[in-house]
Amino acid sequence: MTTVLLILIGVFLFSFIIFAHEFGHFITAKASGIKVNEFALGMGPKIFSFGKGETKYSLRLFPIGGFCAMEGEDEDSEDERAFGNKSVWKRMIVVVAGAIMNMIVGLLFVAILLSQKDVFVTTTIAKFTENSATQAAGLEAGDEFYSIDGYRIHNDRDLSFALSLADPQSVDLVVRRGGEKLTFENVRFNTVEEDGKELLALDFYVYSEKKTFFSFLGRVFSETVSLVRMVWTSLIGLVTGRFGLKDVAGPVGAAQAISQAASIGLESGLGAAINNILLMMAVITVNLGIVNLLPLPALDGGRFLFLLIEAIRGKPISPKYEGWVHAAGFILLIGLMVLITFNDLVRIFTGKGLGG
């Protein structure tokens, strides 16, 4: 029963992230004088709807998306308040507002998490464990991590992420020592086995620093940027083949991950469960914002690209051709969502995704 409840909470929270994205489009459209015909949360058949002013608000059956339907967004309209009849810069703002809202929500979640800490973890080595591989390689207490396998380290989240991706048998480390950068190549870490996988074993401790108002603000932005970098690194990994389809999660997988994070957190108490959920939500909302800004058809980034071309040319590309591009992109996007959702379900029932 608890598992079902946590999955439902995960679905609800994922829907909240979608709502924030679409609300970004909605609020900037209203502020720009664009007529909004419908604001919907979810996709598919309507569960219920109501009208207020010129806009219909609806809740739909499948919690895998949402939309803000603006007059003249995908077709010609004579209405002076239609999306297509507004200046190009106003349309640009509306198009990117969803992703920006996701970034703002991500900042908020990170701020909530960091506000609970009394001190912040640094990336400077304090001491080593017994039989430490990094100490044997030549690292010393006081060394500050600069990069791991070329991945720049700015905070402890970067440090954890880089180490989680590293091959324990060969890690390239760059540290700062006394104002100089020192490189240690092909460092071989000790390993631990977890769920049948060989993972790198941490063999050092780092210093902590006192939290101040300004260090708090700096950390909020720094850690949010780290989440963005994690997303981009993961996307590049998918393109280059470092990660496979088995590593990709969609709405169902995201809901499962949130519920699992909550379940693990419940072992330490309700507060830990909530914090795990907030961290997962921060990663997902930043992910959604970044992916939507990619210059691909049917995504916000694709629409922004067409608007940018219009701004440069001084006239729009033929709506017919743009419509074809977005329609083709939408079909591919739906196909990808179906594949990823199927992959999520296979992972849930078999423990492995497609190609796992």
What domains lie within the chain, and their CATH numbers? 2-114+276-350 (no CATH), 123-210 (2.30.42.10)
What's the DSSP call for residue 126? E
**Mean pLDDT on 35-56:** 91
- Write out the DSSP string of 95-106: HHHHHHHHHHHH
Quickly tell me which residue has 């946590």 as its tokens. 6
> CB–CB of 134/162 below 8 Å?
no
Distances (CA, A) of 221 to 83, 110, 214, 276: 33, 9, 11, 19
Pairing outcome for strands 180-187 and 197-200 = unpaired
Residue 166 burial (CB count, 10 A): 19
Contact 337, 252 (CB under 8 A): no
Mean pLDDT over the full length of the chain: 83
Q: CA-CA-CA-CA torsion for 7, 10, 11, 12, nearest 10 degrees?
A: 120
**Tokens found for residue 116:** 């609970």
Alpha carbons 118 and 224: distance in angstroms, whole number: 19
Show the tokens assigned to 163. Answer: 């180490």
Say whether pLDDT at 264 is over 90: no
Please give the Cα distance from 154 to 235 (Å, whole number).
Answer: 20
CB 287 within 8 A of CB 250: no
- The more confidently predicted of residues 111 and 254 is 111
Whole-angstrom Cα distance, residue 319 to residue 7?
A: 42
Number of other CB atoms surrounding residue 154 within 10 Å? 15
pTM comes to 0.79
Q: Judge whether residue 42 has pLDDT over 80.
A: yes
Tens digits of residue pLDDT in 191-201: 887 766 777 88
Quote the tokens at residue 338: 């179906």
Residues taking part in catalysis: 22
Range scoring the smallest mean pLDDT among 76-85, 141-150, 158-167, 291-300: 291-300
Mean pLDDT is highest, among 290-299, 301-310, 327-336, for: 301-310
**Model confidence at 295, in pLDDT bands (50, 70, 90)?**
confident
| Average pLDDT for 303-324 | 82
Question: In this structure, is the dihedral angle defined by the CA atoms of residues 81, 83, 87 and 90, taken in order, positive or negative?
Answer: positive
CA–CA distance, 244 with 238 (Å, rounded to integer): 6
SS3 content of the chain, % helix, strand, coil (to 5): 55, 20, 25
What is the pLDDT averaged over residues 204-217? 94
Q: Report yes or no: 218 and 131 within 8 Å, Cβ to Cβ.
A: no
